[in-house]
Structure 1
Amino acid sequence: MTTVSGITPSGRLTLGNHLGALRRFADDPEGFYFVADLHAMTMPHDGSRLRELTRETAMLMLAAGVRPGRVFLQSEVPAHAQLAYLLECTASVGELSRMIQFKEKSARTGDRSVRASLFTYPCLMAADILLYGARTVPVGGDQDQHVELTRDLAVRFNREHGEVFVVPELHRAALAARVADLADPTRKMSKSAPDAAMGVVRMLDTPEVVRRKVMRAVTDTDGTVRHDPVAKPGVSNLLELLAACTGGEPAALAAGYTSYGALKADVADAVVASLEPVQQRYAALVADPAAVREALDLGACRARDRAEPRLAAAMAAVGLGHVA
């Protein structure tokens, strides 16, 4: 079954991106995985920083084990933007205005400065998915609503214009789907957080920085190590990180600890060990930009080969294209 997913280069990738997404991408030899650089333009941005983060994100995807030919840049496959417009012609204003992320981001910036692309970007996300006939969409919990909209748009388009799109299903990893911020375990570890945020472990953090952040992680005052996400979110997050890095189960791992200090030390060791091979491969890619460009060109070519026939079918279905 074809799987497709993208990562927006809105900040430096985190441990959550590694555990919750990139490791799964690396295990899939057939999927389509892209750097969603067009999505990064829905908010004010600096062009040079976007270019830097796009390149860094692509190299981290490759360094994490996603195979060459499976990674590409969204902007290098024009069918994404082209199909997005057809889906804008399928979606309603009411549907798009109900998107939670649009409500939250527009509330922060104010209506006058909200870009139209922020309102319509769920259509671009739907195009990302539908172009490749994806049957499964691996996403975090904050994207559930967008996948549901994608399903609705696919069903509506097929009903009105004929069977063109596969209606996808959402797929989420059972563990590490939502790694929490070490300083505020009620929040997701976000790549959009400030670079200096102590609760966010970046994939390129040095071992010393990783250990410092983990050892400062918020816990609680009762001193008991147990997995209880509601009553003990900080401790539970540490146990989940340890489980994700070592392959254990959080509740079972908790039984081996009598102090938070020992738990944090083991979590730090496990995180460092998990990131070390990725950082080594990343350094090798930085030293070989031609190999990076070759891998991305291969990925874009493969993506265009898959996407363009479906775009052509969608255009023909709505009445666009060559006229005899």
Structure 2
Amino acid sequence: MRVVSGIQPTGDLHLGNLLGAILRWVKMQDETECLFFLADMHALTIEGEPAQLRRNVREMAAALIASGIDPEKSTVFAHSHVPEHAELQWILSCTARMGWLNRMTQFKAKSGKNKEAASVGLFTYPVLQAADVLLYNATHVPVGDDQKQHIELARDIAMKFNNDFNVELFTAPEPYIGGGTAARVMSLRDGTEKMSKSAESDMTRINLTDDDDTIATKIKKARTDPEPLPGNAEGLEGRAEARNLVGIMAALTDRDIDEVLGDFEGQGFGAFKPALADALIARLSPLRSRLLELREDTAQLDSILDSGAQKARELAAPTLAEAKKAVGLSR
């Protein structure tokens, strides 16, 4: 069993990144073989500053390691440092079909109303995602609901390639359900919007580099409602902000929402918020300290990424060689 997953190096990581993906990865590495990459090539689909992208790769690597990803257990590397990804993408682009990509809902969402102005990369990046997975013959990929369609595309490409060229080269990957449930963390000011670094107000999110006082202040000022907390999750129906804060507590303490509510049933947020702030500080304070240390040690980060890329290339080479042979690019 082999799990492959990537995360875009966006910089300014926040609680949503941690609870939504990174802590799940930390658990996965004790369950199976894992490759985690910083998807800097995928990041090119969004306009950005080149120097900032380079900084973000190191920042994301530091965040992963500070959060508990162990380079001795997992292979951690930058996407662009393994050129086999891009080479396999081109081969698979000649297998994938326009109709398949036209159905991808994420392109419709990200391109907006003016699809003609969107980059070709934004349209075809699901094929690169497929290459990311198929290159290592990953058996499983951890995904959220918004990415299940991409796993289906990778499966379609794998099976069509195998069938077209009469080979048994690519493994059709399955969604991975290990590592616990990823939390969907919403804005502290609007429980219907995902927590995001792009939100104008910093009060909408908990940054991984926020100090303890800032964390406490943000939780104190987080939007809630005047109703007491119910005894079960059903009672949070229609209370987006309340559900978000309770969900954060559940994810932090590795419990389900009903268990958390059992501790606070009938109480208001005047009692709940200080407890949530304490739980956040207990989790984020040591992580922040380690992150700041790693941020200053660029040589160590580069060494980890270089070592990971070398290991990834060794794993990728046989698959790419067989793909090239199958399509007639080599003997």
Q: Verify same fold: TM over 0.5.
A: yes
Q: CA deviation at 1:126?
A: 0.6
Distance 1:195 1:58, change over 3 A: farther
Distance 1:171 1:203, change over 3 A: same
Distance 1:2 1:158, change over 3 A: same
Q: CA deviation at 1:113?
A: 2.6
| 1:291 counterpart letter in structure 2 | Q
Is residue 2:260 matched to residue 1:253?
yes
> d(CA) in 2 for partners of 1:287 and 1:105?
34
What corresponds to 1:51 in structure 2?
A: 54
Q: CA deviation at 1:198?
A: 2.2
> d(CA) in 1 for partners of 2:200 and 2:316?
35
Counting matched residue pairs gives 320
Q: CA deviation at 1:195?
A: 6.5
Q: CA deviation at 1:270?
A: 1.0
Q: CA deviation at 1:174?
A: 5.0
- Maintained 8 Å contact 2:85/2:132: yes
**Which of 110, 117, 122 matches 2:121?**
117
| 1:248 counterpart letter in structure 2 | R
- Maintained 8 Å contact 1:239/1:250: yes
Structure 2's unaligned 5+ residue stretches are none
What corresponds to 1:155 in structure 2?
A: 159
**Which of 290, 299, 302 matches 2:308?**
299
User: What secondary structure is seen at the aligned counterpart in 1 of 2:209?
Assistant: coil
Structure 1's unaligned 5+ residue stretches are none
> d(CA) in 2 for partners of 1:132 and 1:270?
38
**Over 6 Å off, 4+ runs:** none
- Maintained 8 Å contact 2:24/2:182: no
User: What secondary structure is seen at the aligned counterpart in 2 of 1:202?
Assistant: coil
TM-score, normalisation: structure 2: 0.90
Q: CA deviation at 1:97?
A: 1.6
> d(CA) in 2 for partners of 1:307 and 1:271?
39
- Maintained 8 Å contact 2:58/2:295: no
Q: CA deviation at 1:321?
A: 1.8
- Maintained 8 Å contact 1:6/1:35: yes
Which sits farther off after the overlay, 199-208 or 143-152?
A: 199-208
What corresponds to 2:42 in structure 1?
A: 39
- Maintained 8 Å contact 2:229/2:261: no
| 2:174 counterpart letter in structure 1 | E
Q: CA deviation at 1:74?
A: 0.2
- Maintained 8 Å contact 1:176/1:240: no
Q: How does 1:250-289 map to 2 (within 5 A)?
A: 250-257=257-264, 258-289=267-298
> d(CA) in 1 for partners of 2:106 and 2:211?
32
Identity of aligned residues (%): 42
Let me know the Cα RMSD of the aligned residues: 1.9
